[in-house]
Structure 1
């Protein structure tokens, strides 16, 4: 009976571990905030579902507010379809979300300097329970800055330089160590040959021979 219980507990534990490994993990990663004129820019918006076992109706709205201007709706995704609103970005917005609608990102194609401003991602979920519906909302704001040319970050440039210096130092150190080891091995071989030659001399002639001693 005890063996049967232990076997059942082991199987249950394995099943729980398999379920845990198979469950998709949602990580809310912040979006990039810098773009270069003429290139595409993905505005990341990840809104993880807290109750994946509950059926949910998800509506996503993207708003844009230029510097010193008013906020307006530029894109809406609902019922499995996306629709652009009239704006300066109309025709340049591409849906980049996932099937489970936890990643609801969009991509701005061929960004311009005039696209700088605040983007707001609004996610509304209607969770359907047996007795009632529960509404959950989340907002993520992204302050985008578009530049004419791509300027490298000073920190990244410095890190790259330090990496090359470190690689050069390690290469020189490795060569020195190889040379040192080679000299030690060569001296050891010479000493070994001298001892072997000495032992090969008849005993009556050893008094007139001297073996070089390495200090």
Structure 2
């Protein structure tokens, strides 16, 4: 009986873990690519995620955002330095909003009121200085976003399909977990019935014959 219950608990626990994993797809920092299509008059998130692999190490992070138009030169439009943000003189002046996270692994911007002329290449450069006990180490990473602005919003079938697949996965895991619970319940109930029947049969044996009758032993 104990073996059956332990096995059932193990299977149900694995089901719960899988269900939790499916519901919490991003428990840690994941470098997700930014969208590359925007709609005129709407806001656009310029996503820049640069994960730091050694979170236990103190680090100083500086961020620079550049913009390069089609067939044009690159120019600095936004800067994060020593905890302060600064917008540089550009066509985006007053339309850029810093939405970076506290740990500075997400250093994204929101571009408000997008226009057709905002199409072009956006470059996010992240400089980190890791402070170890004996030395310092500098790293640099960059993310490029080739943005295309359109007048009418187009349906994103990829995101819709991904969302549908996620709901299907959650439904499947929930159904599988329910089946496991029912299966384990029936198996435990059956084992209890067999044990009860064995005990009842033993009690029904006359006293003079019990010495030669083995006592039913519960399965371990």
The match for 1:48 is: 51
Moved over 2 A (4+): 151-159
Alignment equivalent of 2:155, drawn from 152, 161, 167: 152
For residues 109 and 161 of structure 2, the distance between their equivalents in structure 1, rounded to whole angstroms, comes to: 32
Shift of 1:132: 1.4
Shift of 1:156: 7.8
Alignment equivalent of 1:112, drawn from 98, 106, 115: 115
- Determine whether 1:122 maps to 2:122: no
State how many pairs are aligned. Answer: 136
The match for 2:141 is: 138
Alignment equivalent of 2:79, drawn from 65, 70, 76: 76
What do residues 72-94 of structure 1 show as CA deviations (whole Å, max 9, x unaligned)? Answer: 00000111111001100011000
Shift of 1:148: 1.0
| Structure number with larger C-alpha Rg | 1
The match for 2:62 is: 59
Higher RCO (CA < 8 A, seq sep 6+): 2
What do residues 86-119 of structure 1 show as CA deviations (whole Å, max 9, x unaligned)? Answer: 1000110000110000000000000100000000
What do residues 21-63 of structure 1 show as CA deviations (whole Å, max 9, x unaligned)? Answer: xxx6101111000000000000100000011111000000000
For residues 158 and 79 of structure 2, the distance between their equivalents in structure 1, rounded to whole angstroms, comes to: 38
Shift of 1:152: 2.5
For residues 153 and 57 of structure 1, the distance between their equivalents in structure 2, rounded to whole angstroms, comes to: 37
- Please, what TM-score do these two structures have when normalized by structure 2? 0.59
Unaligned runs of 5+ in 1: 1-23, 160-215
Shift of 1:155: 7.0
Shift of 1:131: 1.6
- Please, what TM-score do these two structures have when normalized by structure 1? 0.60
